[in-house]
A and B are shown apart, each in its own frame.
Chain A
Amino acid sequence: MVVNTGLYAFNVTCAYRQIIPTIDSIYGDATPPKTPADFEIKVASPSFARRFFRPQVSFYCDQHSPFKPLPLAQAYALLEWGMNWCIATHDHTQLLIHAAVLVKNNQAIIFPAVPGSGKSTLTAFMAMSGWSLYSDEMAIINLDSGLVSPLYRPICLKNDSIDLVKEWFPDSIFTSTWKDTHKGDVAHLKASSWKEYIQCKPTEIVAIVFPKFVANSELKIYSLNQLQAFETLSKNAFNYGVLGNLGFNVIDKIIKRAALFEIEFGKLGEVEAFLLEDIIE
C-alpha cells in the first residue's frame, strides 16, 4: 500500500496485516501521490524463527534493515520511526531539523527540542487549538529560500502525555498505545486532516523557540543570541553534517530573520498566549 505524507510517498509492504487498519486510520484520507513512491519500505520478521519464537519485527528500507528488530507489538511505532529515518538519511536537498513546526497567520514557529522537553505535548495542544500542524518531528527547510514545508504525519505522544492529550481532545483519532518501547509508552495522534494539510504552503520561519517542560513552573522566557541559536539549531539538524556549507548558509539566513527564545513552561496555555502576543502578527 502507498502512504502519502505529502512531500514523500512510501510504498509499504506489511508482513503483518494487524497494522494496516492503523495505517489507514492515520493516512487513509490522503489522495494517492501523482508520482511513484520515493521509498520502498517493509515491516517484516527479521528471521524465520522470529515469526514464532518471541515474535519480532524489523523495518526495511529497500534492501536493508537499519535498526535492530523490536517486539511484534511495536510494529506500527517502528514503521513511523523507520519513515523518519528514510527521510533524514536520504533527503539532502533540504535542511532537516529535529523540531516541531506550527504555523499561524502564515508565520511559522519551529520548536527544536530534545526528547522529554514536552515538544510533542505542546505540538498536540497547539495543533488542536487552531494552529496549522506542519510537523511534530521534522522541520523541512528549503536551502535557498529558508521556507519551511509541511509534512503529513501524526504526532508521536509519549508516556503521561498520552492520557493527558486524550483527556483534552477525546474525539481525536489515536492509535493504540504501544507499551515499553525504547521511548517508553508511545501512541500516535492524527492531529490534522488531508484537507487541512493541502492548504499548508511553504512558510517563512518567524521564530525559533527551544521549549523545556518543568512541572508547575511559571512561564520563563529567555532571549537567545544568534550564536546560541545557531549552535542549538545545527546540533538538532539531522543532515547538517552532510550539507556542510549549504546547511551553514541556510541556518545563518534563518537566525538572522527569526526571533530566538528559550522557554521554560509548566502550562501550555501560557506558551500559546506568549507566542500569540509577542511573535505572531
Chain B
Amino acid sequence: MSQFTNQQLANFLTKPESAIDLPLELWAKLILIFRESKLLASFYHVSKAKKCYELYPKYARKHLYAAFIHAQRQNAQVLFESENVRVLLAKIDVEPIFLKGANYILRESENSRGRIVSDIDVLVKKEDLDKVEWTLKSALWQSEKLSDYDEKYYRKWAHEIPPLFHLLRETVLDVHHNFYLPVSGRSPNVALLVSNVETSKSGCLVLGNAESVLHSIIHLFMNEDFTNAFRDLFDIHLLIKQYESYDFWKNLEVLAEKTKFQKELYYCLILLMKIFGSQEPPILANLNLRYKTLRRDFFINTILFNSLTPKHSLLNNYLNSTSRFLIFIRGHWLKMPIHILIAHLAIKSYKGTLEFFFGKYFLDEK
C-alpha cells in the first residue's frame, strides 16, 4: 500500500498548510520521499511563502532547513559557474544559452527557489561545438573516460557531447547542440526555440518563457528515465503559474505546433490538471479535439500518471514499477530507429545482467 498518492504529494506542495497537522510518523515518510525526489528544499520555500513553516513540528523544520541551506549553496554555485562559462566562451565569441536548472536559477523563476541542480546545461550552435569543447577542456573542464560504445553514442547520435566536469570544483557541465537526439528524427529546429532568448541579471542568455516551458515538457515526456519526473512536473506547474497570460498560451501553442511536440504538451496539461489541480488552460480545447482518444487517455491516466510517482520504496508498487518499465521502453523507442535500438539494448542489458548478479561495481576498472 502506497503511503501517499500523487495528488496528496502535490497537495502538500501547493497547499503546504495541509501538512501542519500531519502526525510525526507521516512527516518522517514525507521527508524521505521529498528528499529522494529533490523536492525537500522546494517544500521549505513553499511553506515559508505560505507562512506555515513556523507551524511545522521541530522535527520537520530541522530537515527542511538543512535541505534549504544545501539548495541555497547550489544556487550560488550555479550563478558562479554560469558566469564563468559565459566569460570563458565570450572569448571565442560564443554565447551559450542556459537550460533547465541553470535557466530557472538565472531567470529567478519561482521554481528556482530550493531547486536542486545536478549539472549545468548549456546550448551552443552545432558549428561551434568543436571550439567550445576545446576551449572548455583547456580551462580545467574535462570528460570522464568513456567506453568506446558510450563515446560513439554521444558523438554520433546524441544532442550533447559527453558530460564535462570541472577538475577542481567537480561541477558537471552538459554541452548541448539540440534539445533532443537527432538520431530520433524528432529533434526540433533549434532556431524556433532560441528566437526569443532573454538575458539574465548577470548577462547570461536563457530561453524565453514559453520556450522554457516547452523545453521542460520535451525533456520530461520524451525521457526514458522518470526518476525526477514528479519534480520536473512541479517545475512546469510553477513556471506556468508564474508566466501564464494570453500571449504565453498563444506562444506555447504555436511553438508546440511548429516543433511537433503538441502531443507532449497535451499529456502535460492533462497531468497538471489531474495531479496539481491546475485550471483548464485556454488552449486545451483545441488540443482535445486533435488528441483526445480513449487509448491516449489510458496512456496518460495509467502509464504516465503512475510513472510520475516519485521512485521511493514507500511508494513503489506493481503498477508504478510496470509503468516505469514501459516508459523506459517507450523512451528508448522514441530515441532511436529500431535497428540501432536493438543493438543498444543488447549491450546495455548485458552489462546490467552482470551487475545484477555481481554488484554494481563489478565492471569498474580496478
Contacts and interface: CB of A to CB of B under 8 A. Distances in A.
Contact of A56 (B73, B76, B311, B359): B359
B312 interface: yes
B253 to A, nearest CB: 39
A50 B358 contact: yes
15 contacts: A35-B59, A36-B59, A47-B359, A48-B356, A50-B358, A56-B359, A62-B36, A62-B312, A63-B313, A68-B361, A69-B361, A92-B66, A92-B67, A92-B73, A244-B76
Interface string B344-366: 00000000000111111100000
Contacts of A63: 36, 311-313
Contacts of A36: 24-25, 27-28, 59
Contacts of A92: 66-67, 69-70, 73
B62 interface: yes
A242 interface: yes
A49 B73 CA distance: 41
B22 to A, nearest CB: 12
A14 interface: no
Contact of A91 (B27, B28, B36, B66): B66
Contacts of B70: 92, 242
B357 A48 contact: yes
Contacts of B219: none
A69 B73 contact: no
B69 A246 contact: yes
A40 B357 contact: no
Contacts of B76: 244
Given A62-B35, A90-B66, A93-B69, 19 more contacts: A36-B25, A36-B28, A47-B356, A47-B357, A47-B360, A48-B356, A58-B359, A63-B36, A63-B313, A69-B359, A90-B63, A91-B62, A92-B70, A93-B62, A93-B65, A93-B66, A242-B69, A243-B69, A244-B73
A47 B355 CA distance: 8
Contacts of B313: 63
B32 interface: yes
Among A37, A49, A242, the most chain B Cβ lie within 10 Å of the Cβ of A242
Interface of A: 35-38, 40, 46-50, 56, 58, 62-63, 68-69, 90-93, 241-244, 246
Contacts of B358: 47, 49-50
B171 to A, nearest CB: 12
Interface in B30-69: 32, 35-36, 57, 59, 62-63, 65-67, 69
Nearest to B59: A35
A38 B63 CA distance: 8
Interface in B288-326: 311-313
Interface in B7-36: 24-25, 27-28, 32, 35-36
Interface of B: 24-25, 27-28, 32, 35-36, 57, 59, 62-63, 65-67, 69-70, 73, 76, 311-313, 355-361
B321 to A, nearest CB: 14
A242 B67 CA distance: 11
Contacts of B361: 46, 68-69
A243 B73 CA distance: 7
Contacts of B25: 36
A9 to B, nearest CB: 10
B357 A49 contact: yes
Interface centre among B32, B73, B360 (most CB of A within 10 A): B73
B359 A46 contact: yes
Which residue among A38, A63, A243 has the maximum number of chain B CB atoms within 10 Å of its CB?
Answer: A63
A75 B59 CA distance: 29
B117 to A, nearest CB: 14
Contacts of B356: 47-48
A40 B3 CA distance: 16
B317 to A, nearest CB: 15
B28 A37 contact: yes
Contact of A40 (B32, B62, B66, B69): B32
B80 to A, nearest CB: 11
Contacts of A91: 62, 66
Contacts of A241: 73
A168 B357 CA distance: 47
A225 B268 CA distance: 60
Contacts of B311: 63
A243 B356 CA distance: 38
Nearest to A49: B357
Contacts of B57: 35
Given A36-B59, A93-B69, A243-B73, A62 B360 contact: no
A92 B67 CA distance: 7
In the complex, the 3 A-B pairs of residues with the closest C-beta atoms, listed nearest first:
A36-B28, A92-B69, A47-B359
A36 B32 CA distance: 12
Nearest to B69: A92
A184 B52 CA distance: 50
Given A35-B24, A36-B27, A40-B32, A50 B69 contact: no
A92 B66 CA distance: 5
A48 B357 CA distance: 6
A241 B357 CA distance: 37
A216 to B, nearest CB: 39
B225 to A, nearest CB: 15
Contacts of A244: 73, 76
Contacts of A46: 359-361
